[in-house]
C-alpha cells in the first residue's frame, strides 16, 4: 500500500496524457482539412502553450500554499472540454482557442501531479518516483497517437473531429483513479508554507541548478512536442499513411517507457550528469536525422533511439529543480520549469512553422537537433552546480510522508543543522534539514540511498 498512490497517479496521468497525445495530431489533421498550411499548424501548436505560459507561476504559488488535488480535477475538465470543442470547431481561430484551453488543462494537471510526487517522496526516492511518474506520460504518448491514427482516414474533416471527441472521453476516464490521492495534513496552506510567498521568483531562478534543469526540460519537451505536431506533416509529404505515423509516434513513446524503467540502474552506473549529457547530445543528432529522406525502417529505428534518449531529460530535470529549489517554494520552482516548457512550446512551433515555410516540413527537426545539443552542454553544468543534493541527505533519507528525513536542500543547510526531529508534512520538504550525516558545501553521502550527481 506504500506506493499505491503513485500507481494511481501514473494511471490518471496516463489517461490524461493519452487524451492530449491523441488530440494533438488530430488537431493537426483537422487543421489540414480546414485548409491550414505549415505555418498555421505551427501557430495552432503554439497557442496550446500560450495560456499556460502566463498561468504556471500563479498556479505554482497556489499549490505551495495549499492542496494539489483540486488542480488535477480542474485539469481533467479543461482537457476534456478543449478536446471536445476542438472537434466541433469549424474554423482555424476557434481550433487555436480550444487548443489553448486544452494546454491550460494539461498544465493544471501536471503541476498538481508533480507537486504530489515531490511532497510524498523521500529525497533518495525522487529519481525513481519521478521516473515512474513520467511513465504515465509515456504510456499516454504511446496509446494516444495509435488511437488517433486508427480513427483518422482519408475523410480527415469528419474522422479527425471524431478522434477529438473520443479523446475528451479518454480524459474523463482519469477521474476514476484520483480519489484520496493526496495526503491531507493540518496546516496545509498555512504554517508549513508561510515562507513560500517570501521566496521571490528571481531568487529561485538564480539558485544553482534550477536554470539548467529548466533549459534541459524545455529542449526535451520542445523536441517531443514538435515531433508530435510535425511528423504528420512530414508523413503527408513522404506519403506515409496516418496509421503508420501513429505507430511511429507510439514507437517513440514505447522507447521512452523502456528508458524510464531502467533509469535507476543507468544513473547508478553512469551518474546523473553523464547520463543527461550523453542522451541530450545523441538525441540532437537523431532528431536532426529525421530531416533526411531515409527509408521507413530507418526512420522507425531513429525514432526508437530518439525516444530512449528523450526519456531521460524530463524526470531528471524534475529532480534537479526540486532538489535545488529553496524549501517551501518547490511547487513554484516546478511551475517555473513548466513555464520554461510552455515558453518552448510557444517559441518552438512558431519557429518551426517559419522554418518549415522557408525550408520544408522536415527542417524544424534540424532546429530541434541543435537545441538538444546545446542542452547537452547545459547538462554538464548540472554536475558542477551542486554535487550532492541529488543523492540523499545523510543516513536518514526520509520516509515518503516526510517523517524523519533529510531535505534535499544541499550541504549549505546540511550537517550543521543535523538531527532535527520530526518531519514536515510533504515528502519533498524532507523532514529535518540536513540529517545527522548531512552534507558539506553541497556534497551528499553516496550511502544516502541514491546515486549522487557526478
The per-residue DSSP string of 207-257 comes to: STTHHHHHHHHHHHHHHHHHHHHHHHHHHHHHT--HHHHHHHHHHHHHHHH
First-to-last CA distance in the chain?
A: 33
Phi, psi dihedrals of residue 444, rounded to the nearest 5°: -115, 155
Q: What is the radius of gyration, based on Cα positions, of the chain?
A: 21
pLDDT reported for residue 453 = 37
If you ran DSSP here, which 8-state letter would residue 403 be given?
-
Which residues make Cβ contacts (< 8 Å) with residue 100, sequence separation at least 6? 47, 48, 50, 51, 82
pLDDT reported for residue 445 = 36
Q: Is 3 helix (H, G, I), strand (E, B) or coil?
A: coil
Determine contact, residues 350/404, Cβ cutoff 8 Å.
no
Q: Is 282 helix (H, G, I), strand (E, B) or coil?
A: helix
Provide the residue-wise pLDDT of the chain in tens; the chain has 454 residues: 467 888 899 999 999 999 998 998 899 889 888 888 877 887 887 788 777 778 877 888 777 766 778 889 999 999 999 999 998 888 889 999 999 999 999 989 988 888 888 888 777 777 788 888 888 887 887 788 888 888 988 888 889 999 999 999 999 999 998 877 776 554 444 444 444 456 777 788 877 778 888 888 888 888 887 887 778 888 888 888 888 888 888 888 889 888 888 888 898 888 888 888 899 999 999 988 888 888 899 999 999 999 999 888 888 888 878 777 777 777 788 888 888 877 876 777 677 777 777 766 677 788 888 889 888 887 776 655 444 433 333 333 333 333 333 333 333 333 333 333 333 333 333 333 333 333 333 333 333 334 333 3
In 3D, which of 445, 439, 383, 402 has the Cα closest to residue 120?
Answer: 402
pLDDT reported for residue 77 = 95
Determine contact, residues 387/228, Cβ cutoff 8 Å.
no
pLDDT reported for residue 11 = 92
Q: Is 46 helix (H, G, I), strand (E, B) or coil?
A: helix
Phi, psi dihedrals of residue 36, rounded to the nearest 5°: -75, 150
Mean per-residue pLDDT over the chain, rounded: 75
Cα 419 from chain centroid?
A: 34
Phi, psi dihedrals of residue 432, rounded to the nearest 5°: -80, 145
Residue 356 CA to residue 369 CA, distance in Å, equals: 15
Burial bucket for residue 209 (CB in 10 Å: 0-12, 13-18, 19+): buried
Determine contact, residues 132/125, Cβ cutoff 8 Å.
no
Residue 381 CA to residue 362 CA, distance in Å, equals: 31
The neighbour count for residue 80, using CB atoms within 10 Å, is 25
Q: Give the Cα-Cα-Cα angle 88, 144, 97 (nearest 5 degrees).
A: 35
Which secondary structure element, helix H or strand E, spans residue 376, and what is its range?
helix 363-385
Which secondary structure element, helix H or strand E, spans residue 191, and what is its range?
none
In 3D, which of 198, 177, 433, 187 has the Cα closest to residue 323?
Answer: 433
The alpha-helical segments, DSSP class H, found in 48-125 are 50-65, 69-88, 92-120
Which residues make Cβ contacts (< 8 Å) with residue 82, sequence separation at least 6? 23, 98, 99, 100, 101, 102, 103, 104, 105
pLDDT reported for residue 382 = 60
Question: What are 355's three cell numbers?
Answer: 522554418
Residue 119 CA to residue 135 CA, distance in Å, equals: 19
pLDDT reported for residue 135 = 85
Determine contact, residues 265/131, Cβ cutoff 8 Å.
no
Determine contact, residues 177/295, Cβ cutoff 8 Å.
no
pTM higher than the cut 0.85: no
The neighbour count for residue 332, using CB atoms within 10 Å, is 31
Phi, psi dihedrals of residue 397, rounded to the nearest 5°: -70, -25
Torsion sign across C-alpha atoms 408, 413, 419, 421? negative
Residue 76 CA to residue 175 CA, distance in Å, equals: 8
Amino acid at each position: 500500500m506504500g506506493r499505491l498512490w503513485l500507481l494511481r497517479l501514473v494511471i490518471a496521468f496516463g489517461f490524461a496524457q493519452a487524451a492530449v497525445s491523441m488530440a494533438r495530431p488530430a488537431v493537426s489533421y483537422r487543421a489540414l482539412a480546414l485548409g491550414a498550411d505549415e505555418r498555421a499548424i505551427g501557430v495552432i501548436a503554439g497557442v496550446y502553450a500560450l495560456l499556460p505560459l502566463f498561468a504556471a507561476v500563479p498556479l505554482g504559488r497556489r499549490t505551495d500554499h495549499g492542496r494539489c488535488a483540486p488542480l488535477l480535477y480542474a485539469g481533467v475538465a479543461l482537457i476534456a472540454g478543449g478536446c471536445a470543442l476542438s472537434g466541433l470547431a469549424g474554423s482555424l481561430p476557434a481550433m487555436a482557442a480550444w487548443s489553448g484551453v486544452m494546454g491550460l488543462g494539461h498544465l493544471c494537471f501536471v503541476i498538481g501531479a508533480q507537486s504530489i510526487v515531490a511532497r510524498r517522496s523521500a529525497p533518495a526516492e525522487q529519481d525513481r518516483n519521478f521516473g515512474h511518474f513520467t511513465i504515465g506520460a509515456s504510456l499516454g504518448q504511446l496509446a494516444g497517437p495509435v488511437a488517433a491514427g486508427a480513427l483518422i482516414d482519408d475523410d480527415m474533416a469528419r474522422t479527425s473531429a471524431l478522434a477529438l471527441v473520443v479523446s475528451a472521453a479518454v480524459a474523463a476516464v482519469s477521474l476514476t483513479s484520483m480519489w484520496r490521492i493526496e495526503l491531507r495534513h493540518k496546516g496545509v496552506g498555512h504554517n508549513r508554507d508561510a515562507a513560500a510567498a517570501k521566496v521571490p521568483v528571481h531568487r529561485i531562478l538564480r539558485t544553482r541548478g534550477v536554470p539548467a534543469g529548466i533549459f534541459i526540460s524545455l529542449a526535451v519537451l520542445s523536441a517531443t512536442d514538435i515531433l508530435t505536431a510535425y511528423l504528420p506533416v512530414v508523413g503527408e509529404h513522404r506519403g506515409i499513411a496516418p496509421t503508420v505515423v501513429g505507430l511511429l509516434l507510439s514507437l517513440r513513446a514505447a522507447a521512452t517507457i523502456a528508458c524510464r524503467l531502467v533509469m535507476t540502474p543507468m544513473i547508478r552506473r553512469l551518474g546523473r550528469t553523464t547520463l543527461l549529457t550523453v542522451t541530450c547530445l545523441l538525441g540532437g543528432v537523431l532528431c536532426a536525422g529525421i530531416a533526411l529522406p531515409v527509408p521507413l525502417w530507418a526512420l522507425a529505428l531513429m525514432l526508437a533511439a530518439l525516444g530512449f534518449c528523450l526519456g531521460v531529460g524530463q524526470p531528471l530535470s524534475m529532480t534537479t529543480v526540486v532538489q535545488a529549489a529553496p524549501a517551501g517554494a518547490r511547487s513554484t520552482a516546478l511551475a517555473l520549469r513548466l513555464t520554461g516548457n510552455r515558453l518552448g512550446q510557444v517559441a518552438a512551433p512558431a519557429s518551426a512553422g517559419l522554418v518549415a515555410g522557408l525550408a520544408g516540413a522536415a527542417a524544424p527537426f534540424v532546429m530541434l537537433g541543435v537545441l538538444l545539443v546545446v542542452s547537452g552542454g547545459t547538462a554538464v553544468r548540472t554536475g558542477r552546480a551542486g554535487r550532492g543534493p541529488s543523492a540523499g541527505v545523510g543516513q536518514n533519507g526520509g520516509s515518503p510522508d516526510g517523517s524523519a528525513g533529510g531535505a534535499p536542500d544541499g550541504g549549505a543547510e546540511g550537517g550543521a543543522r543535523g538531527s532535527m526531529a520530526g518531519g514536515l508534512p510533504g515528502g519533498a520538504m524532507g523532514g529535518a534539514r540536513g540529517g545527522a550525516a548531512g552534507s558539506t558545501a553541497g556534497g551528499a553521502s553516496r550511502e544516502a540511498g541514491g546515486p549522487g550527481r557526478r
